[in-house]
Structure 1
Amino acid sequence: MTAAIVARAGQGPALAGAVGELLALLEREPHGQVSSSVYETGRLVADAPWLSGHPERLAYLLRRQGDDGSWGPTGGYALVPTASAVEALFAELVRAEPSSRAGPARSALVPAAARGLAALDRRLADGGPMPDTPAADLIVPALTTRIGAHLAHLDDAGHPPLPGAPRVLPPVDRRRLDGVSTLLATGRPVPSKLWHAYEVLGPAAAGRTEVAPIDGAVGASPAATAAWLGQRGGAPRAARAYLDAVVARHGGPVPCCTPITTFERSWTLATLSRVGLVAPVPGLVAELAAALGPEGAATGPGLPADADTTSATLYALARLGHPVDPVSLLHYDLGSHFCTWQGEDGDSITTNAHVLEALGWHARHTRDGAERYAARVTRIAGWLRDVQRPDGRWADRWHASPYYATSCAVLALAAYAPSEVADAAVDRAVEWVLDTQRDDGGWGRWSSTVEETAYAVQVLLGVRRPIRPRVREAVRRALEPLCIEQTEHPSLWHDKDLYTPVLIVRAAVLAARQMALAVTDPPRGDTFVPVHHGADQGMITTA
């Protein structure tokens, strides 16, 4: 074990042990721990019935269907996984020779498909906005087109109408999908981020010679890799080995993005080091540094480098005593703020918060950092302040919960922004968090979750302010839910559907627990308890 855990009075051996276990997992399982995805699993059912674990994937889809017939959480987030699961079940039903003799019986698939189709029909008829998740505007029209073809096939075969299900789905806006298909057919360059959704790009993508597996994966996606491999008769061994390994690790169902090595390690180490829970980890530090290229770091093989992963990597390295000049981030500078990648549709609060931390550290602690980066730090801080919601929160495109975005913004502003820019915004965020605590002591968008409670506590205790009685009481009430050991967390992070990066969430909970314990049970009655690590050490006033 190469990790050194910083023990601190008041944190207790259980917390230190949990941090040690987490760090060991980072080293032992470099592919990363990610929850399984209904969307991605549905694509393998439809496009790769030849892959091992097919019966288990079908059973997983049936098990995850909700009482209303849909898949996924409430609201718009159910659209993409429901479309994928419905198309997958119909793909299985129309196969000339069912591929899963040992799996769920047809008598179980038919009613699930009918209920899912009815739920999808209701959602499309409502005409609500697409979820702001990657490729949703490509996925939904592509899958509804396939579902329409399956329904036509069943009609042609004389299959009776499915009870309670429509014969035809409402029309879906195809302009973005048609535009991408046209671009692919021209042979002109396309953004490499599209390959993460290769499975819905259609025949035009098959002729693109620049698409090739990296470490066996196309776009770091099992679904994209399976679709690419299916077009080539299953011959490329590296891609098949990648899929077999993913299926073996997850027992049939698969995640949307894997591996997530750099993403998982950078977020986890940055979170722990921010509150002083981990000292330099030589092997992980070296591998993070190696992940940085001229344009920064990417989440997974086949994905483009992005400002978010790059910032977290730079910040983690700096906090762990191995600073790297953040010049690669300048590739993403738009003037007023930073993009996640060039050509991004929309803006990201959390990406800019992470950029602020990375540049802010270097502006404060390196010889020429202030001259090179201080003006950008002030500019990003002003942008974050200006996009704060009137009620004091922030919301972002990479996470379903405003508590995540608010914690990212507050921690960055409180640590690195000029006080005249940050103070009022931070105070508004604290008041919003206090006002939205639930009766059970936790916080959450839909209901209390340990993850969102952790972010709320980080907002309350990461602002370098004297702790008011109301804040202390809110943290005291949150400590019990924070200390519940939880092996599964609701999926709140954005990919093609919602997912959980397990170790990243666990690190956030441990960091918040450390902060809360320092305040609710200060060692030896100390008035000040350090919660920041290294050169950025700050003090929480508990008196």
Structure 2
Amino acid sequence: MNRTSRAALRDAARGIVDEMIADPYGLTSPSVYESARMVVSAPWLEGHRQRVDFLLDQQHEDGTWGGPGAYGLLPTLSAVDALLSVAGAPDAGRVAGAVRSGLSALAGRFPRNVELPDTIAVELLVPWLIERIDQRLARTDDRGERPGRLDLRADTGTLDGIRELLRRHTGVPEKTWHSLEALGAPAVRSATVTPAGGSVGASPAATAAWLGDPPHPEAAKECLEYLWQTQARHGGPVSGITSITYFELAWVVAALAGSGLGVDFPARVADTLRAALGATGLPAGPGLPADSDDTSAALHALDLLGEPAPLDCLWTYDTGLYFTCFPKERTPSTSTNAHILVALADRRGQGDPRCDRAAERVGDWLVEQQQPDGRWTDKWHASPYYATACGAAAMARLDGPRTSAALDGAVRWVLDTQRADGSWGCWEGTGEETAYALQVLGHRAAPDGRALEALRAGGAFLAGHVEDGREDPPLWHDKDLYTPVRVVRAEIIGTLAATQRLVGAGKQARP
């Protein structure tokens, strides 16, 4: 069967929607960082042996874990710490070999002053894990087993400050709950932290850190159920961010609603998003703080579904120049501001002058953030193709020479970086990044010969990707890199359908 025929793509899109409706959490890939934390903090939880095996199986030949370059530092620290904690377990020889290889990689592949990627809570987690591993190595050194201290240093100022807040029982920022495991003994069943639906910060590691070691009180029953459910999803290993309920709903709607596949969304999709919107919007999923990125994406999805909601919740994030994701964030996000511009543009000309002014202002800010070669980069994704697709979608909704030139620049960059096999990707050609690149090209209604050929070659690569059932590497930022599985599948299916339509129309238009 041709898995990329129009009918097959429509069936695949409907299957994504059906799965999404049936899943209360949303689907994310298993995490090396998070699974390693569970090995250390929850060996009593079902699936412990499977988590250890997962860590052993996921180690790369060079001794690291996780993504390329500096993206591998945090997962490698986490995995080494976890395997040091199970040194006496079955397969002790294999575990010891993985630890040696991991320590060698930490010594040789990450410079002392390594520049950390802008992943979630990296400024807390890296110094914390360096501390933990140094403590473990010091204990083995005392027994004469090996000398030990990592030749890595990281600033502990932010970590120490948040630990002190928790020790004083004054509470810590809600966005820090997602990384509660870094805060030590004062975090255990802290009254300043409130689980939601059994999870703390939508993180298995944070939830286990809050629970502490058994025995667990009856009041913790819902948290235990959450942990059991999260480990059962992948047969032991756990995802990082769990859940992504609203994130998945909003992104899948946006990816499939404009694909031309005629996908129907049950009324409960819009009902769920509307019900989750509060005074400051909604979060990625229950247990996380509200943010402007998921809020603007949900507002846009509701517009696409014909169920618009008021934009009032967005204004609390407005700085007068751009919009923040969260209060007091370290760095602004280009993709978030692009999503906000799209949500504002949906309402332009509907009587609220704030929307028109803010859309123009955010558009100017985004133009200023564009790189000289035409791409954008962002803090929520490792690949510039994601940020550039978001930026191009925003530019396409504004008139004027600056935004038109910015869109032209993005198109040129995409055309200049296509790989010989028709794909795009920052480290290797992937289906996800190829979809984003094709989305950029799709904003030009009448592609010229070069763009049409790029669309054709990219569409052929994407069709092969779908036909072969290939998987893409994790590219999204959480504590380590992850994949929101249904979101990426929807982006690929929706983009392939739209590209096939564009290529077909282009062929008919050519003499």
- The code of the aligned residue for 1:53 comes to G
C-alpha distance in structure 2 between counterparts of 1:315 and 1:282, whole Å: 16
C-alpha distance in structure 1 between counterparts of 2:442 and 2:214, whole Å: 54
Distance 1:418 1:520, change over 3 A: closer
- The code of the aligned residue for 2:238 comes to V
1:384-463 to 2 correspondence within 5 Å? Answer: 384-414=366-396, 416-463=397-444
**Are 1:191 and 2:178 counterparts?**
no
**Are 1:59 and 2:43 counterparts?**
no
CA contact 2:386–2:433 (8 Å) conserved in 1? yes
Equivalent residue for 1:38, pick from 19, 22, 32: 32
Pairwise CA distance, 1:151 = 1.1
Distance 1:385 1:11, change over 3 A: farther
Q: TM-score, normalised by structure 1?
A: 0.89
Q: Tell me which residue corresponds to 1:147.
A: 133
After TM superposition, the structure 1 stretch with the greater mean CA deviation from structure 2, 447-456 or 126-135, is 126-135
Equivalent residue for 1:242, pick from 200, 208, 226: 226
1:141-220 to 2 correspondence within 5 Å? Answer: 141-160=127-146, 167-206=149-188, 208-220=190-202
- The code of the aligned residue for 1:354 comes to H
**Are 1:478 and 2:458 counterparts?**
yes
CA contact 1:387–1:394 (8 Å) conserved in 2? yes
Equivalent residue for 2:120, pick from 134, 151, 161: 134
Distance 1:326 1:526, change over 3 A: farther
Structure 1 residues 265-289: Cα deviation after superposition (integer angstroms, max 9, x where no partner): 1111012113343344312111111
Q: TM-score, normalised by structure 2?
A: 0.94
**Are 1:263 and 2:247 counterparts?**
yes
CA contact 2:189–2:212 (8 Å) conserved in 1? no
Q: Tell me which residue corresponds to 1:22.
A: 16
Pairwise CA distance, 1:11 = 6.0
Q: Tell me which residue corresponds to 2:307.
A: 322
Structure 1 residues 179-231: Cα deviation after superposition (integer angstroms, max 9, x where no partner): 22223334445320000000011234347412121000000000000111115
**Are 1:275 and 2:259 counterparts?**
yes
CA contact 2:30–2:239 (8 Å) conserved in 1? yes
Q: Tell me which residue corresponds to 1:110.
A: 96
SS in 2 for 1:143: helix
- The code of the aligned residue for 2:160 comes to D
C-alpha distance in structure 2 between counterparts of 1:334 and 1:189, whole Å: 26
Pairwise CA distance, 1:126 = 3.9
CA contact 1:262–1:298 (8 Å) conserved in 2? yes
Pairwise CA distance, 1:138 = 0.6
Pairwise CA distance, 1:510 = 1.3
C-alpha distance in structure 2 between counterparts of 1:29 and 1:167, whole Å: 44
Gaps of 5+ in 2: none
CA contact 2:370–2:376 (8 Å) conserved in 1? yes
C-alpha distance in structure 1 between counterparts of 2:209 and 2:48, whole Å: 15
Pairwise CA distance, 1:156 = 2.7
Q: Tell me which residue corresponds to 1:3.
A: none
Q: Tell me which residue corresponds to 1:354.
A: 339
Q: Tell me which residue corresponds to 1:91.
A: 85
Q: Tell me which residue corresponds to 2:357.
A: 375
C-alpha distance in structure 1 between counterparts of 2:337 and 2:229, whole Å: 35
Pairwise CA distance, 1:522 = 3.3
Pairwise CA distance, 1:155 = 2.4
1:329-340 to 2 correspondence within 5 Å? Answer: 329-340=314-325
Pairwise CA distance, 1:494 = 0.2
CA contact 2:170–2:192 (8 Å) conserved in 1? no
Structure 1 residues 242-300: Cα deviation after superposition (integer angstroms, max 9, x where no partner): 00011111100000011111010111101211334334431211111111111101112
SS in 2 for 1:427: helix
SS in 2 for 1:250: coil
Gaps of 5+ in 1: 1-9, 528-541
C-alpha distance in structure 1 between counterparts of 2:171 and 2:139, whole Å: 36
C-alpha distance in structure 1 between counterparts of 2:354 and 2:104, whole Å: 57
CA contact 1:138–1:200 (8 Å) conserved in 2? yes
C-alpha distance in structure 2 between counterparts of 1:281 and 1:420, whole Å: 40
Structure 1 residues 401-454: Cα deviation after superposition (integer angstroms, max 9, x where no partner): 00000001101210x222333100000000000000001110000010010000
Q: Tell me which residue corresponds to 1:502.
A: 485
Question: Over aligned residue pairs, what C-alpha RMSD do you find?
Answer: 1.9
Q: Tell me which residue corresponds to 1:221.
A: 203
- The code of the aligned residue for 1:260 comes to I
C-alpha distance in structure 2 between counterparts of 1:172 and 1:412, whole Å: 37
SS in 2 for 1:521: helix
